[in-house]
Structure 1
Amino acid sequence: MIKLVNKTNKNKGFSFIELMIAIMIFSVGILGVGIMQMASIKGNKSAFELTSASFLASGKLEELMAKPFTHINLLDTNNDGINGLKNNTIDTADHNEINGKYTILWNIVNNHLLNNTKTIKVIVVWNSKKELKNISFACIKAG
């Protein structure tokens, strides 16, 4: 009788090439996770800046709304009327203050939509990544 010899390869484990390919795939994956983490950090920074600016603008608007109708901070100091609401620079603002990296501007328009009212627009301006950004809120105060 003829005996068949079983010549199966009984090597166990990984070859060096398989190990190098696995390390390369793992490295590419880790690099991708690192890039996503960097993008997430940048997004969080932008969100924080926008939230801070919104907080400052709404706080200033509430502060102005609580002041008496004839308060000095509610005067249209440059008499630019409705055109003052379209600009967001210190030169065109009726009033301004600086809070860290944020500049808070506000413009007042007397009797714009209704008599005996003041339209108040608060604009917060800041630099982010060498780009000028702003957010604004407006409301009407009755006298």
Structure 2
Amino acid sequence: MRIWKIIKTPPMPWARHPQDLFTLKNGMAAIGSNGFTLIEALIALMVLSVGLLSIAVMQIDAIHGNSQGSHVTEATSLIEKKLEGYKSLDYEDVKDEQGNEDIYQWVTTVQENTPVNSLKTVTVKVTWASGTRSHSLSFGTIIAK
């Protein structure tokens, strides 16, 4: 009963002897030193697996988001390059055209006398395929005579 006086806890109803709860290891008292049961270890492993799987799914989503962002940046750069090229041309030389660059297809649409006379509305649309989906991005500008 000296152990009970030192720790000052009442005996547990399921323990027949104090030795069932307290064993001495290297001179120190260990509570419940029987270890983990197989069920406890499996449940802990299951909780860990669910957490790691969730992190893996988030990582895959982040990779897809980065890829999509990279495609949008490339398409934006291509559109800006085309629009700046049209601004440097003479007014009469700005016409409809289309072409390909890497995985990107671009189409230029020129509307004359819009929104008013002596102005051209130039729209560049870039499309690309990513997996099974098709994406597009378009910008426009107005060019004066």
Q: TM-score range by the shorter chain?
A: 0.7 to 0.9
2:77 to 38, 52, 55: 55
The reply to whether residue 95 of structure 1 matches residue 81 of structure 2 is: no
SS in 2 for 1:141: strand
- In structure 1, the partner of 2:108 is 106
Among the aligned pairs, what percent are the same residue?
30
- In structure 1, the partner of 2:118 is 116
- Ranked by relative contact order (alpha carbons within 8 Å, sequence separation 6 or more), the top structure is 1
Pairs within 5 Å for 1:55-94:
55-71=77-93, 74-75=94-95, 94=96
Normalising by structure 1, we get a TM-score of: 0.75
| Cα distance in 1, alignment partners of residues 130 and 38 from structure 2 | 49
Highest Rg: 1 or 2? 2
| Cα distance in 2, alignment partners of residues 36 and 70 from structure 1 | 52
Runs of 4+ in 1 over 4 A off after TM superposition: none
Normalising by structure 2, we get a TM-score of: 0.74
Pairs within 5 Å for 1:19-34:
19-34=41-56
In the TM superposition, what is the alpha-carbon distance from 1:8 to its structure 2 partner? 4.5
Once the two structures are superposed, residues 95-131 of structure 1 have per-residue CA deviations (whole angstroms, 9 ceiling, x without a partner) of: 0110011011101111122222111111101112222
Letter in 2 for 1:17: I
- RMSD over equivalenced CA pairs, Å: 1.9
- In structure 1, the partner of 2:133 is 131
SS in 2 for 1:103: strand
More strand per residue: 1 or 2? 2
The structure-2 alpha-carbon separation of the partners of 1:127 and 1:6, relative to structure 1 and needing over 3 Å to count, comes to closer
| Cα distance in 2, alignment partners of residues 131 and 6 from structure 1 | 69
User: 5+ residue gaps in structure 2?
Assistant: 1-10, 12-16, 23-31
Letter in 1 for 2:75: A
